[in-house]
Amino acid sequence: MASYKDLGFVNTKEMFKKAVTGKYAVGAYNFNNMEQLQAIIVACVETQSPVILQVSKGARSYANQTLLQYLGQGAVEMMKELAKEKGLKEIPISLHLDHGDTFELCKSCVDSGFSSVMIDGSHHSYEDNITLTKKVVEYAHPFDVTVEGELGVLAGIEEHVVAEKSTYTKPEEVIDFVQRTGVDSLAISIGTSHGANKFKPQQCAKNADGVYIPPELRFDILAEIEKQIPGFPIVLHGSSSVPVEAVKLINSNGGTLSDTVGIPEEQIRKATQSAVCKVNIDSDGRLWMTAAIRKHFADKPADFDPRQYLGPARQALIAMYKHKNEHVLGAAGKV
Ligand code: G3H
Ligand code: 13P
Ligand code: ZN
C-alpha cells in the first residue's frame, strides 16, 4: 500500500477549483514510457503548468505497474530538481488512472499511489454506471483520492471498447449522477472522440485557407450541463487536434495514415472558458512522436541507437505539450 501523498502527488481537487475559477484547463497527458514522461515534466515545469499524468490500463500492462509507480515517483523528483535548477516554482502533479473499467483496477491504483482515478461506466446502463461509480468513490474517498466518472459515450476506441457512434451526455441526468455517485469530476460527451481518426474530410467544411473544419462541438449541451451543476468540474476526453503537419510528416516519410481531422484547438480553447477544467490529450503526442522518429530514420537510415531517434521524438513532444499549455488550455503560469 503506497499513499500518493508520500510519493509527492496531489489529488485533483485544488487543481480543478483553481482551473474552473481561472477559466483554463489542466492538461491530462497519457504516458507509456520514459521519454513521454520526461517530455511532459520538462514542458510543464518550463511553462509552469499544473499537470495530470495519465495512465491507462493498457499503459499499466505495457510498462509494468510497479515500474510505472516508480516512474511516476521519479517524475516528481525530476520536477523538483528541474524547478530548482531553473529558479522556477514546483508544479502540482496528479497521477491519474485513465478509463478504469472495473472496481478492482481502480482499487489497485488507489493502493499503489495514484492520486486520482477514472471509473468509466459509460458503456453500462445508467443504473449500473451509478452503482459501479459509487463503489469506486466509496473506496477512494477515505484515502483522499479523487474520482472521475463518465456520462455519455464517446466514439472511437476507449480501452479496447470500440464505440461506432457517440451518445451525447443528457443534461437532465447529470445532477442525479453526481449526487448519487459522489464523483469529483464528470467526463462528458459533446462531440469529441478518441483516437487519431475523428472526422473524415468529407464530414467537414473547408475554410478560405482550405483548412477542413469539422462540425462544432455541442457547446449548447455543455451550457445545459453547466446550468444543472454550476461550477462542477467537467472533463473533455478525445481532445487531440490531429495536426495536419504531423500527419504530413508521417506520410512523407513512409507512413500511410489516412486523411483525418481532429478537434480544432480554438474549440478546445473555447471549452476551457467554461467549467471544463481537464482536457485529455494522447493521440497528438503519438502522432508527433511517430513523425519525429520517421523523419529521423528517413534522414539517417544508418542510425540504430534508440537515443538517436527517441531524443528528437522527446523534443517534438516537449514542443507540443508547451504549445498545448500555452496556447490551447491556458494552463501556463498557473502554479
Ligand atoms: O483514451 C484512451 C487513451 O488514449 C489511452 O489509450 O488504451 O491505447 O493506452 P490506450
Ligand atoms: P485523444 O485520442 O483525442 O488524444 O484522447 C485521449 C483521451 O481521451 C484519453 O483518455
Ligand atoms: Zn479518454
Q: Does the pLDDT at position 158 exceed 70?
A: no
Whole-number pLDDT of residue 163? 61
99 CA distance to ligand 3 middle (Å):
6
Does residue 335 fall inside a structural domain?
A: no
The answer to whether the CB of 195 is under 6 A from ligand 2 is yes
User: To which H or E segment does residue 280 belong?
Assistant: strand 276-281
Chain position carrying cell 483554463: 24
pLDDT in tens, 16-35: 999 999 999 999 999 999 99
User: To which H or E segment does residue 205 belong?
Assistant: strand 205-206
Ion ligand 3 — residues with CB < 5 Å: 237, 280
* CA 66/CA 68 separation, integer angstroms: 5
CATH number of domain containing 177: 3.20.20.70
- Which ligand is in closest contact with the Cα of 29? 2
Average pLDDT, the chain: 95
In a 13 Å sphere around the CA of 35, the CA atoms on its Cβ side amount to 19
Whole-number pLDDT of residue 162? 52
Does residue 58 fall inside a structural domain?
A: yes
158 CA distance to ligand 2 middle (Å):
8
The answer to whether the CB of 100 is under 6 A from ligand 2 is no
Domain that holds residue 151: 4-328
Pocket residue to mutate for ligand 1, from 32, 52, 99, most atoms within 8 A of Cβ? 99
Whole-number pLDDT of residue 44? 99
Does residue 333 fall inside a structural domain?
A: no
Question: Which residue's alpha carbon is nearest to atom 10 within ligand 1?
Answer: 58
Does residue 123 fall inside a structural domain?
A: yes
Tally of residues, the chain: 335
Record the cell numbers describing residue 180, joined without a space.
448519487
Whole-number pLDDT of residue 1? 87
Does residue 272 fall inside a structural domain?
A: yes
Does residue 334 fall inside a structural domain?
A: no
CB atoms within 10 A of CB 36: 23
Pocket residue to mutate for ligand 1, from 29, 31, 55, 98, most atoms within 8 A of Cβ? 98
The answer to whether the CB of 281 is under 6 A from ligand 2 is yes
Q: Is 98 a catalytic residue?
A: yes
258 CA distance to ligand 3 middle (Å):
22
Number of domains forming the structure of the chain: 1
Q: What is the mean pLDDT of residues 129-155?
A: 97
302 CA distance to ligand 2 middle (Å):
34
pLDDT in tens, 175-225: 999 999 999 999 999 999 999 999 999 999 998 888 899 999 999 999 999
Whole-number pLDDT of residue 209? 87
Q: Does the pLDDT at position 159 exceed 50?
A: no
CA distances from 43 to 298, 325, 328 (A): 27, 8, 14
**Residue 62 near residue 130 (C-beta atoms within 8 A):** no
85 CA distance to ligand 1 middle (Å):
33
The answer to whether the CB of 260 is under 6 A from ligand 2 is no
Angle at 71 between CA 194 and CA 295, to 5 degrees: 55
Reference 114, options 150, 79, 143, 74; nearest CA is 143
Does residue 288 fall inside a structural domain?
A: yes
Whole-number pLDDT of residue 51? 98
